[in-house]
Structure 1
Amino acid sequence: MINTFSANNQVGVVSTFSELINTDFKGEMNALCWYRNLNGDFKEIVAKLSLKENITEVFPEDLMALQLSESGNIAREIILNDLQLLTDFGASPSLNLLKCYERDEEFDFISTDVYSFHVDRSPIATDTFLCTYHGAASDIIPNSQAEQKILIPEIRERLKELYDGPSEEFEFFLKENYFDLHYQIKEGVEPINLGVMHLWRLAVDHPRQKVQPCIHRAPIENEGEYRLLLIC
């Protein structure tokens, strides 16, 4: 598997979990990739798990209960190890079997669901970690290649029409309803796909963050295929 990320200024590529958590974001770099070419049959795990809702959390005991082939067992050990590494680091990882996320269809001029390019925000110093083991993978884009939706004149005017309150509190209204987290990709820009099996760390908007938060989106799922996603 060829590493296609190293030539991009937005992405830093590392070869160990220790490097992933200890490398500082800087400049344009607000995404770190622990690049991995893993063995193991993750598709077998997906096939043997049961989807109870559109998003079903999978716990370690669920994985351990599966009867797997040798290749499936290798995949299971990789997932369990990733969960343990992140837990030991102090994160709260969640493994999800995904059919689809809920769509935001309230407004026809702006979307605030995870399929829209957006950034994550936290009141505390943290980062987003994710790894797609199977299925469609997420996309990111450089901050210079996107525009905050609330700054696009026609969208801003529609939001002002929606808002019913004092003008000095309009910006608070945008933030309270998460409109300010969403971005419009510029014409002709090709997103960077995160691929499968790699463990990513993405910069989050928080008071101590020294770089811009990473703009990303969930992918449209492949027809008839579930995603297996670790995220925290």
Structure 2
Amino acid sequence: MASAERTVIALELHPNSGVTPEDIKSAVVNHVVSAAMREPHRFGNDSAVRLLQDRADGRHLLLVSADSSWSPTATIGNLGLITRIDHLGSFHFVALASLDGTETTGRTDPGRGLGNDIRLFELRPASGRTADDLAEAVDTQLATRVGAPPTRSGNVLNVSLLRQNDADRHLLFFGVDAGTSPNNESRLAALRDTADVKELGSFIQRSLS
């Protein structure tokens, strides 16, 4: 499946001792969001900044989405005063056929809302499988659940698949409205037939407005 041109820079933030989630949010707003607004040409058109907070620890995930190449080094320099920063890499969106041309188009963009409860997975094609096989599995098992008739819990709001530039490493964002459901869990488990799956955390999205 083809990758779109839009690029996402993913950064993992590990706050220093005594630094609160509000400190992280304020720093991202002051040093990243403001830079995107002040110098849009450096970020590309329709750039977006999203901040996710892990439910289990103080770790955050910062996503900067733009349609051109962007180096975060200078812009995030001030964040290094309050947090350790791990650069997870640059990624491109992978188009999912089940979402193409539907009212859910655009929900695959992590520059947009990801859902209320967001689980993040790292995927790599299993032995003998390709990146296309992996994308097809995500499409058939998960993307078809976006916009499906509601269930008692775990309605799927977003499925976003990103592939690292020049690598087989993928990030899968799986967002639901609340909780989970056996159906969702069985579909996630089915991915293991095609991909090596590692869950990286369960997140909420922080408002940066």
TM-score by structure 2 length?
Answer: 0.31
TM-score by structure 1 length?
Answer: 0.29
Higher normalized strand content (fraction of residues): 2
Larger radius of gyration: 1
More contact order relative to length (CA 8 Å, sep ≥ 6): 1
